[in-house]
Amino acid sequence: KPGDLPHEFTHFSACGGRGWENEMVNKHLCVVAICVASTSYVYATDNQADIEIIVDAKANTSVLSPSLVSRSVSAEEITASGKNTINEVFKDLLNLRMVGDSVGTGVLGFPDVGGYGETAYANTLILLNGRKLNNPSQEKPNISNIPISAISRIDVFPGGSGVLFGSGAVGGVINIITHPTLDAPRTVISSRVGSFGYVSSGISFSSPLSDQDQFSAVIESTSKDGYRHHTDYANNFGQMSFGRTANKSSWLVSYSHGLQERKDSGAVIQSTAEQNRKAQGSTSILDIREETASFDGSLDSGSARFGMHLGYRSSKQNGTNTSGRQQKLEINSLSITRSNYSDTNILGIDLTYGSYYAPYYQVTSYQDAAEVFWRNTNDVGESTSILSGIRIAHVNDEMSLSSQKEKTLGAAEINLMRSWSNIDLSIRADRAFRYANMDDNRTTILEPQVSDTLTLSASNGSLSSRLFASKISDEIIYDSVQSANVNIPDTSRQGMEILYQTSLNGAVTLDGSYSYTTAKIESGSFDGKKVPDVPQSVGNVTFGWMANDNHTTRFETYYVSSKYAVSDYDNSLDQSDAYYVSNISHSYTAGDLTASLAINNLFNQKYNYYEIDYSSLYVTPAEPTTVNLQISYTF
């Protein structure tokens, strides 16, 4: 916010153990017990030499699939499009509006699924290979540090998925899937350059060490000067994985480390931006260091599969407003699942332990959660099935010795699915929830947010659509007047979504997507007002032309309708102007070599990444036309 530092800076967090002296002990405890809420599993048959950790994204009747209507983008599509960042992939290829980027560099934005605006970071669940990246604090997952060259596929599942994933899966779920360890040696080197000093290079390597053992690694380094003043940044990331497949069991150990060093310049008053779109707002300097360690294992018992995940994730931050002291967030996790071979029944337990420290509050907070879930599909005819499930979650928050709360929550769903000719139909009712996170509860102990949704879906392969209506109780928002997070008793989301893919002829393809969402406040002093930072319409149309096996051209236009500024709950300011952005790219493939040239914001549209009602209207201007070139080679 103007005059302040971004949310994830003032609310960054941490800890390890109840007391700093127990930090090292806490790190070792991660290998014996504590959480991750996910149902992905590791599986390899006796004859396979690869290990793959994914959520089944395509099987409509699988208990591992969050919803019938989904959208996906592959590594090949990402490379051909010339996108440089994961935020560009979300926006331009998956038609998701990025919210919360008050700096404008693309490293702060977060994808909004379901129309939640500024609080999308707490209502859209981000998974990396099926594992949660969302935090029990207001710190957004730092998805910008995930190397784009490491991504195999991204799947987006709109709608509540509380049974499978627990807290935060209210508006939808996004699963970022990285390249699995391969059963053959593979090395990929890549390099990207672009406007405003953008430079990125990386290498990924994978190879079997024996018939049973596999190893992989990835390293990537990125830097950019930034369009606005005081917005340069650098990302450095590395990851190693080692796995073994033997008899009827398999396991995978992974470790990753990332360092992001950036300068942040907040939003500026609108009149200043009109005179100089490069003008800087309030400035800060941040160093964010993240590390993860995980163990995933599976066992084939002959009648079922058992999966186990142990994980540790930490985030440490230094910056200009911390007086040289470090802010920390640490999360330990344990997940155990049992599923049958037909993927029609799954039972699991998730345990989480999170700790958070920030000098701003001068106190360590803790959030522990224990959850059990069950999901099952039954056939009731040749073409009809019923999917049902339930999750029970118990959460314990401790903000201080005198401030503690416990809550027991439930998520549930029932889904009637029928296949008729080549069309899949679905009617689904679900309940999802969101815990009040540790920052939300600093001033007042808030109630959990609960969402009840009815969804009608249809899909025939090339065309998918859904209608949805949600009633939300105790939605958690930030009230700028009170300078605190508060509950709104009643809000709603209603709308529709259409996804379309077709081939116009052998060489030209057309992809389109459109979502319409109304987000309203249904009670209190803002009764009848629209939820700010939520546009009614978001659309994307893409034409692809494959001239031959080597050359592909892609043209896309992305549209966002008008909306009220962040924090404008009384809808007192004028809505922002609607805008569209067009991009064009051309890719060339010859054997193991791939090269692409992309021009983003082709027509140099002037629009804002971010707008906030902060006494006056403050904005963050978007970049003008940019040019990017990337080359990759596979050995």
Listing DSSP states for 502-517 in one string gives EESSSSEEEEEEEEEE
User: Contact 343/56 with Cβ under 8 angstroms?
Assistant: yes
Buried b / exposed e along 383-399 (16+ C-beta atoms within 10 A): eebebbbbbebebebbb
How far CA 60 is from CA of 1, 57, 385, 511, 553, in Å, comes to 42, 8, 10, 21, 32
∠ Cα 480 483 489 (to 5°): 70
Q: State the pLDDT at residue 442.
A: 65
The C-alpha atoms of residue 223 and residue 16 are separated, in whole angstroms, by 31
HEC sequence for 173-188: EEEEEECCECCCCEEE
User: Contact 121/141 with Cβ under 8 angstroms?
Assistant: yes
How far CA 250 is from CA of 215, 266, 350, in Å, comes to 14, 47, 21
Q: Which amino acid is at 364?
A: T
Q: State the pLDDT at residue 123.
A: 94
The C-alpha atoms of residue 631 and residue 439 are separated, in whole angstroms, by 43
Q: Show Cβ contacts of residue 482 under 8 Å, excluding neighbours closer than 6 positions.
A: none
Q: What mean pLDDT value characterizes the chain?
A: 84
Q: State the pLDDT at residue 441.
A: 67
Q: State the pLDDT at residue 402.
A: 64
Q: State the pLDDT at residue 443.
A: 64
User: Contact 43/55 with Cβ under 8 angstroms?
Assistant: no
Query: In the 8-state DSSP scheme, what is residue 525?
Result: G
Query: In the 8-state DSSP scheme, what is residue 443?
Result: T
- Which region holds residue 25: left if phi is over 0, alpha if psi is between -120 and 50, else beta? alpha
Q: Which amino acid is at 352?
A: T
The length of the chain in residues reads 635
Q: State the pLDDT at residue 401.
A: 61
Q: State the pLDDT at residue 283.
A: 87
Q: State the pLDDT at residue 358.
A: 76
The C-alpha atoms of residue 457 and residue 464 are separated, in whole angstroms, by 8
Tokens of 297: 């294992």
Sign of CA dihedral 118, 120, 121, 123: positive
The C-alpha atoms of residue 621 and residue 140 are separated, in whole angstroms, by 21
- Which region holds residue 324: left if phi is over 0, alpha if psi is between -120 and 50, else beta? left
Q: State the pLDDT at residue 551.
A: 95
Tokens of 184: 């053959």
Q: State the pLDDT at residue 71.
A: 86
Q: Which residues of the chain have pLDDT under 50?
A: 1-61, 322-324
Radius of gyration of the chain (CA): 23
Q: What share of the chain is helix, strand, coil (3-state, %, to 5)?
A: 10, 55, 35
Sign of CA dihedral 569, 570, 576, 580: positive
User: Contact 584/601 with Cβ under 8 angstroms?
Assistant: no
The C-alpha atoms of residue 161 and residue 171 are separated, in whole angstroms, by 8
HEC sequence for 322-360: CCCCCEEEEEEEEEEEEECCCCCEEEEEEEEEEEEEECC
Burial class (CB in 10 A: 0-12, 13-18, 19+), 282: middle
Q: State the pLDDT at residue 624.
A: 96
Q: State the pLDDT at residue 435.
A: 87
